[in-house]
């Protein structure tokens, strides 16, 4: 099971995302699904980089796995402050822009683009896992 650990800083965003999308490409995902995986990954990773380690430094760990040949499983972990992004209410995307609350769109987007998104706090780590299936009708 391939794994990558890098400091949670913006300059590492591209190699972190490339690690995930390369795995999807090797599994034979089409360009549209790889784009969805990339978009969801970027949203999650940017949130960790910006918010997981206030006033400090830490790492992002990515573990890529598969469920047979049909599904990519990506676990993104950090040792930052405990935060369940799935606990956020869905944003009201029908509200006028000036009445919308800030934040939450990245998680909303990941939930819409991926087939499964789960969160757990384990051994001092936030672990967000998403699954994308090749045969998915998501997004």
Q: What is the CATH number of the domain that holds 32?
A: 3.30.565.10
Query: What per-residue confidence (pLDDT) applies to 109?
Result: 82
Residue 139 belongs to a domain:
no
CA-CA distance, 4 to 2, in Å (whole number)? Answer: 7
Residue 32 belongs to a domain:
yes
Query: What per-residue confidence (pLDDT) applies to 1?
Result: 66
Query: What per-residue confidence (pLDDT) applies to 2?
Result: 87
68-126 pLDDT tens trace: 889 999 999 999 999 988 786 665 555 455 554 555 566 778 888 999 999 999 999 99
Residue 50 belongs to a domain:
yes
pLDDT at 59 over 80: yes
Q: At 70, give phi and psi (nearest 5°).
A: -105, -15
Q: What is the mean pLDDT of residues 32-56?
A: 93
Q: Is pLDDT larger for residue 95 or for residue 53?
A: 53
The pLDDT mean for the chain works out to 87
Q: What is the mean pLDDT of residues 10-18?
A: 97
pLDDT at 60 over 70: yes
Residue 83 belongs to a domain:
yes
CA angle centred on 116, ends 114 and 117, rounded to 5°? 90
**Tokens at residue 59, please?**
């790492």
pTM: 0.86
Query: What per-residue confidence (pLDDT) applies to 100?
Result: 45
Range of the domain at 98: 3-133
CA-CA distance, 134 to 30, in Å (whole number)? Answer: 8
Provide the domain count of the chain.
1
Residue 128 belongs to a domain:
yes
Q: Is pLDDT larger for residue 39 or for residue 87?
A: 39
């Amino acid at each position: 099971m391939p794994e990558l650990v890098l400091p949670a800083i913006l300059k590492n965003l591209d190699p972190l995302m490339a690690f995930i999308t390369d795995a999807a490409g090797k599994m034979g995902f089409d360009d549209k699904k790889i784009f969805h995986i990339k978009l969801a990954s970027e949203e999650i990773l940017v949130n960790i980089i910006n918010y997981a380690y206030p006033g400090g430094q830490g790492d992002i760990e990515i573990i890529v796995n598969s469920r047979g040949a049909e599904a990519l499983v990506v676990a993104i972990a950090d040792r930052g402050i405990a935060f369940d992004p799935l606990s956020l209410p869905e944003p009201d995307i029908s509200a006028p822009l000036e009445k919308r609350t800030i934040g939450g769109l990245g998680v909303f987007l990941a939930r819409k683009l991926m087939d499964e998104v789960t969160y757990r706090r384990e051994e001092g780590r936030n672990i967000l896992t998403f699954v994308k299936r090749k045969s998915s009708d998501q997004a």
